[in-house]
Structure 1
């Protein structure tokens, strides 16, 4: 079960609870008290990572985010593993091109992987960094949907692709994915790709509403 940060229907609660593995993202915004979490997949570069780990000045302005609040979130506490979605090698290579095309994103590639690894070790959780090849594969396949110019695929689609590759015979279900949000992700193309995988029988959605009609996902 891969649960994004968009709205999750109440009807999905039992299916999420009975899944073999429940993956959530970053600050687990769609989590409801008492729900289950096994893995928290985090955006481990740039401002989101700094906010979660409390390594940026801006984290002091948001008391609901930071190492104490994030680490104490019930979903993060319950999780047995922390996954870093953004492979450091991919983002190191992205730094120079972004400095030219998007100079305002000067900290986008700042790597906070070590901070998440230290957190996982201290909390007794497993730790994993997703393979760089997953993002490279996604960039190739997303090109077939003629996306508008974008920076990187979203964390949600990277984890979905990772799970499909690692567990091709598994029953993989999605909830809380709206495929809208930050303009640097190719959400329209990602929605089309997910719909293709659903049509091929590789995924299924628990959301009752169409993918593009919901609020912000992962």
Structure 2
């Protein structure tokens, strides 16, 4: 069966040295938050998927350099990976288990919506049901899911469940499966490897990375 588009999901980890032209030749390129490997990992940016709660969201909204960056300027859409209602429902449990994350569920979706409106970009909030499906799928690989799935896992789950992307060739690069210990990276790697074995995803270049930045 043919695929209508090639979609590249570019994590914030290392990519192969020759990856940039391959990434830029794709029909759709999705990056994350600060797009830290923009340049070495190509320049095409159609979508930026964002953590729209907590400190990362507050920092991006308040950062003129981020707002004026080439990647943000190029993107025609910003995807919010954290459904506001879902995260508000998580607040009490997160505070009980991780009191240091007192601002983790603070929502900045409206701020990003206003930014998108001013810049002529599409503003998309990924439904909380996608988060719940990611949780359910990850539990098969690790019952202890830590705090929340990574932004990368939410985007992957969204693309695999949304009918609009059913015929597309979805490729990953820049995913080290390392980073903040609140994300269940070991379980995410096992789940993604299972998706690859089923032919639902593929990877560009080496599946592991030595980057210290980790995933998103």
TM-score (norm 1): 0.90
**Secondary structure of the structure 1 residue equivalent to 2:105:** coil
Of stretches 69-78 and 27-36 in structure 1, the one that deviates more from structure 2 is 27-36
Distance 1:178 1:135 in 2: 21
Q: Within 5 Å, give how 1:4-43 maps onto structure 2.
A: 4-32=11-39, 35-43=43-51
Q: Within 5 Å, give how 1:89-168 maps onto structure 2.
A: 89-166=85-162, 167-168=165-166
Q: 50, 59, 83: which is aligned to 1:51?
A: 59
Structure 2 stretches of 5 or more lacking a match?
1-7
Distance 2:175 2:143 in 1: 18
Structure richer in helix, relative to its length: 1
Deviations 1:48-72 (A, max 9, x none): 0011012xxxxxxxxxxx1x11111
- The count of residues paired between Structure 1 and Structure 2 equals 205
CA RMSD after TM alignment: 1.4
Structure 1 stretches of 5 or more lacking a match?
55-65
Distance 2:77 2:56 in 1: 19
Contact kept in structure 2, 1:138 and 1:158, CA below 8 Å = yes
Deviations 1:150-202 (A, max 9, x none): 00000001001111112122100011001100000000000011100111111
Distance 2:210 2:23 in 1: 21
The residue that corresponds to 1:207 in the other structure is 205
Distance 1:111 1:127 in 2: 15
